[in-house]
Structure 1
Amino acid sequence: MSHATERIPVVVGVGDVVSGSAGTSADPVEPLDLVLRAVEAAIADTGVSTLTANIDAIHAVRTTSWNYEDLPALVADRLGVEASRRSTSSIGGHHPARLMDQVGHDIAEGLTTAALVIGSETQASVRALTKSGTNPADIGWLTAPGGPPTFSPDDLGSAEMQRAAILAPVQIYPLFDIARAHRLGVRPTESLRASAELYSRFSCVAARHPVAWSPVERTPDSISTVDSTNRAVSDCYPLAMNAMPFVDQAAAVLVCSLAAARDAGVPDDRLVYLWGGAGVSDTPDLLARSTFDHSPALREAVRTTLSAAGVTGADLTVVDAYSCFPVVPMLLIDELGLSPDSTPTVLGGHSFFGGPLSSYSLHAVAESTRLLRTARGSGSPAVAMVHANGGYLTHQHTILLSTAAHEDGYIGNPDAVSLSTDPVSVVHSYDGPAVVETATVMFGRDGAPDQALIVARTPAGERVAGHAGADVAAALHAATTESDTSVVGLEIDVIDHDGTLTVTMNRTDKDVPL
């Protein structure tokens, strides 16, 4: 075995676990305890008993439901290993793929022999304990180091986003969905139907997954139809199309060098080769971006990953898209050139598999590994892509796994590239005409339009962005639903009062105040 060959990174063990499920209560579980179950499962999955002693690195995706100063150190202590290389990511769904790429790089460089990548969320337990008035610390959850979740003002978004009150994922992803549909010439009803059909196919995948939080097949109509159990959240996403973060799920992936795997006697049918991938970051300031109809960061991450590996979207056997809202997998379908009726998930998406916050895509790595193992021996090497998304289509990272080693060994790069683009200027106190770039209507729990979020361009090319109240929301919703036409391109007159917008919609027959 050559020096280069012995440093090829391979996935040798995966484990993911769930405690409880939607509609089924379970005893509250601390994230540390749940991730230890996943680690135990991943070690057992290797088929050997000797690899644990070789673990010299543990990297954790940030747990949001409970704070740990150093979760990798706690896991290392329970395993009885030193794991001198340890890290915990910040919050962001791209980190599972990035950490896998980091481990691949470290193994290829001889810095690491065997590494665990771990992630755990028990937001369902936290929610249940909070509702019962129980402090998790009072039932033994670690507080030293550890403790309740903390909140950072940085999590609020940019100053411009705060001013416009465009901050939450349920507000922002519809803006991308509506802009993309307009670019493709898809009417709002057609877009809603396409999202429902995609998520119906996703639900069928989740229904077969033993770790899924909501393993029930759903029809497109049950997903798209608003009723007492599926309330309207935004004008393009009822509740069933929104991520479900209140889950108790954990995952662990064990990666080592090919030499370490062979020395330990890991059976060849357990080995999945980590080729690596690429990460690209857009500006975190949503309102400074050049476009809403696609994700430049996603496009660049996918193209870089495929180019480095010398493959195309058509060569992929398995694809898992980060799926917090339908527009994200749809954008990946666009970039890979897949059929519109494809099903790019191995899990079932955040709505049905469950959305364990930043660690979702680590579950995708685990399941992709299992699927590749079953695909071995079918002829050409099978290749899987796992796509991970952080922020608001801000941070994108994709990695490739395969049943065979790449001829160049590890071909990834864990360091994200930042897009270099000129930021769009957001104008304040604007009073005049504008053209809508994208907009969405949010609904209250009573089912009525509650708020409109509008991003528009002035004749000078500057951007005006903000929010308007229920009257504007109702009028905007009526204007688009009556004719089943996109709000994008709508000519308006707007007055900006520190992010609160007064809007008049211009029609050819008369001006209709919004």
Structure 2
Amino acid sequence: MTVVDDRTPIIVGVGEITHRNKQAAAGLEPIELMARALQAAQQDAGAALLAELDSLDVVSEHSWPYTDAPARLSERLGHWPARRVYGETGGESPVRFIHEAALRIARGESRVAAVTGAESRYTVDAAAKQGIDLDWTPRDDSVKLLRGTDFCHPVAVRHGAAMPVSIYPFYENAALAHWGQTPREARQESAALWSRYSQVAAANPHAWQSQAFSAEEVAEPSAANRLIAWPYTKYMVANPMVNMGAAVLLTSVGQARALGISEQRWVYVWGGAAAHEPRDYLQRDQYHRSHAQDLVMESVLAQVGGDAAAFAMLELYSCFPIVPKMARRTLGLAADAQMTSTGGLSFFGAPLNDYMTHAAAGLVRALRGAPGKAALLYGQGEYVTKHHALVLGSRPPPQGLPPDDYSVQAAADARRGPVPAFIERYDGAASVETFTVIYGRDGLPTHGIVIARTPAGERLMARVEPEDAQALAVLTDLERSPVGRGGQVTQGADGALRWSLA
């Protein structure tokens, strides 16, 4: 019989709230959603854990800024944990918070910890459109919410390439060319993958969207599924227009026994890995892979013996198709592998930074019904920038307590190749390194954005004008990738670079 250390960290309670009321006046503010999610997690655990909380991590929240969200939440709960932390922006942050909470528990620094977050974007936007003043905790618009324009290169900001929807396509278009796919083949892969995500969401009672879509419906542009940024349609893009909250409660094996929590509720934290890319994506060596993601995936694979078959279930972050497409290749998964237990950010819903708290809840529930199995929880933050993965199991970790050092940053940095010099002024030949085309609500292109390389190997970013139909047609050709295609760059009167066919 395996003897389990009393300090072994476990997840014992998960809770989710999806508030679909279409009347803005009846909407619930994020703090209320968090409180209800925590109460649901406590009920799920079957023990009075909230009164025992000594650590509270609140995921960065954007739809209704609070001066001190952890303090507001503690006041709402009537309990003040000694450690209260408000997280920084990042879709991977819930995974990191769960991992760090587990490490503190393993070290004996914490007895009961909570990770929670919520967004009420659907209600906030509906109230603004209806001219309704929400009777919520006063909003604090002085709170600084980190956005892409705060840390992307000024040239990227000028070209409208400082938002996720305009940046992830750079990786999509570079990767498909590197993998030897035609754009049509890559689109079919994305659509089939997203169709499977939608089917999971349709069966998830907590999902915002309950409709399953075929691969054809995901891929083909239509009135309901317009092009957003080439090659992504609306159904391939994360949907932040939701009201959702989620919470995870962790403790130790010894504390769970003392509180009388049934072992059937326990899910063990086995270990994890984290790494990041340079924050300025124009200062990366290439766009067809992420060294940080690769090392994180390889690290968690090693923790389960080197074979992804050890993962009975997965949650691979899904803000855009390129993320799980890259991850599944590193993991060695089949193209038709099931890569979500939640439904994905397009169909389940995208409560901004908090999706992975919901994903953790989904995996915990799935593991409870799968004795002896393991699962992979992988999140990503910013623009293919921050990567964090966690291995969970329905049995004790075979390697013992999680390691204190979960970073693989040095190995990721060592793999990085030379970074091309970025130039802002240029006139001459340049070939496409990667690109996207941005579309308006009318379905027409507003402009293209090309990251290009000069004959000397320098990197630049240039705009393709919407009137340049020939260049846009080449960029959006489904039968042939334009990566590597030669062109001509000129300097506009406004100082911005323009790219056209040679």
What TM bracket, shorter-length normalisation?
over 0.9
Change (3 A) 1:363 1:416: farther
- Look up the match of 2:401: 409
Letter in 2 for 1:61: V
Letter in 2 for 1:253: V
Q: How many Å separate the matches in 1 of 2:403 and 2:393?
A: 12
Q: How many Å separate the matches in 1 of 2:129 and 2:45?
A: 40
Alignment of 1:7-86 (within 5 A): 7-20=7-20, 27-49=26-48, 51-86=49-84
Q: How many Å separate the matches in 1 of 2:257 and 2:245?
A: 28
Task: Give the alignment partner of residue 115 of structure 1, picking from 113, 116, 120.
Answer: 113
The Cα shift of 1:504 comes to 3.4
The Cα shift of 1:401 comes to 0.5
The Cα shift of 1:25 comes to 7.3
CA contact (8 A) 1:13 1:45 kept: yes
Q: Give 3-state SS (helix, strand or coil) of 1:323's partner.
A: coil
- Look up the match of 1:511: none
Q: How many Å separate the matches in 2 of 1:182 and 1:76?
A: 50
Q: Give 3-state SS (helix, strand or coil) of 1:213's partner.
A: coil
Letter in 2 for 1:341: D
> How many correspondences in the alignment?
495
- For structure 1, which segment, 431-440 or 90-99, has the greater mean C-alpha deviation from structure 2 after superposition? 431-440
CA contact (8 A) 1:493 1:505 kept: yes
The Cα shift of 1:501 comes to 3.0
1:106 aligns with 2:98: no
CA contact (8 A) 2:155 2:424 kept: no
Unmatched runs of 5 consecutive residues or more in structure 2: none
The Cα shift of 1:222 comes to 1.3
- Look up the match of 2:131: 133
Q: How many Å separate the matches in 1 of 2:94 and 2:478?
A: 43
CA contact (8 A) 1:166 1:467 kept: no
Change (3 A) 1:11 1:247: same
Alignment of 1:262-341 (within 5 A): 262-341=257-336
Q: How many Å separate the matches in 1 of 2:478 and 2:102?
A: 52
- Look up the match of 1:470: 466
CA contact (8 A) 2:207 2:348 kept: yes
Q: How many Å separate the matches in 2 of 1:26 and 1:201?
A: 35
Q: How many Å separate the matches in 1 of 2:257 and 2:443?
A: 59
Q: How many Å separate the matches in 1 of 2:427 and 2:103?
A: 53
The Cα shift of 1:223 comes to 1.3
CA contact (8 A) 2:301 2:331 kept: no
- Look up the match of 1:382: 373
Task: Give the alignment partner of residue 426 of structure 2, picking from 430, 434, 440.
Answer: 430
- Look up the match of 1:5: 5
- For structure 1, which segment, 193-202 or 302-311, has the greater mean C-alpha deviation from structure 2 after superposition? 302-311
Letter in 1 for 2:497: L
Q: How many Å separate the matches in 1 of 2:401 and 2:146?
A: 40
Q: How many Å separate the matches in 2 of 1:412 and 1:187?
A: 44
Q: Give 3-state SS (helix, strand or coil) of 1:278's partner.
A: strand
Q: How many Å separate the matches in 2 of 1:154 and 1:445?
A: 22
CA contact (8 A) 1:467 1:499 kept: no
Letter in 2 for 1:382: K
Q: How many Å separate the matches in 1 of 2:232 and 2:143?
A: 28
1:445 aligns with 2:441: yes
Taking structure 2 as the reference length, the TM-score comes to: 0.93
The Cα shift of 1:184 comes to 1.0
Q: How many Å separate the matches in 1 of 2:180 and 2:437?
A: 20
CA contact (8 A) 1:163 1:466 kept: no
- Look up the match of 1:180: 175
Change (3 A) 1:483 1:217: closer
Q: Give 3-state SS (helix, strand or coil) of 1:445's partner.
A: coil
Q: How many Å separate the matches in 2 of 1:323 and 1:484?
A: 25
- Look up the match of 1:503: 499
- The ranges of structure 1 where at least 4 consecutive aligned residues each deviate by more than 6 angstroms after the TM superposition are 1-4, 23-26
- Look up the match of 1:512: none
CA contact (8 A) 1:19 1:26 kept: no
Task: Give the alignment partner of residue 459 of structure 1, picking from 449, 455, 458.
Answer: 455
Taking structure 1 as the reference length, the TM-score comes to: 0.91
Encode CA deviations 1:297-345: one digit per residue, 9 max, x unaligned: 1111112233345443221111101111111111111111100111201
Task: Give the alignment partner of residue 156 of structure 2, picking from 153, 157, 161.
Answer: 161
CA contact (8 A) 1:272 1:404 kept: yes
Q: Give 3-state SS (helix, strand or coil) of 1:233's partner.
A: strand
Unmatched runs of 5 consecutive residues or more in structure 1: 507-514
- Look up the match of 1:202: 197
Identity among equivalent positions (%) equals: 33
Encode CA deviations 1:359-379: one digit per residue, 9 max, x unaligned: 001101001000000001xxx
CA contact (8 A) 2:271 2:303 kept: no
Task: Give the alignment partner of residue 212 of structure 1, picking from 207, 217, 229.
Answer: 207
Encode CA deviations 1:260-310: one digit per residue, 9 max, x unaligned: 001111111100001121111111111111111111111111122333454
Change (3 A) 1:140 1:440: closer
Letter in 2 for 1:17: I
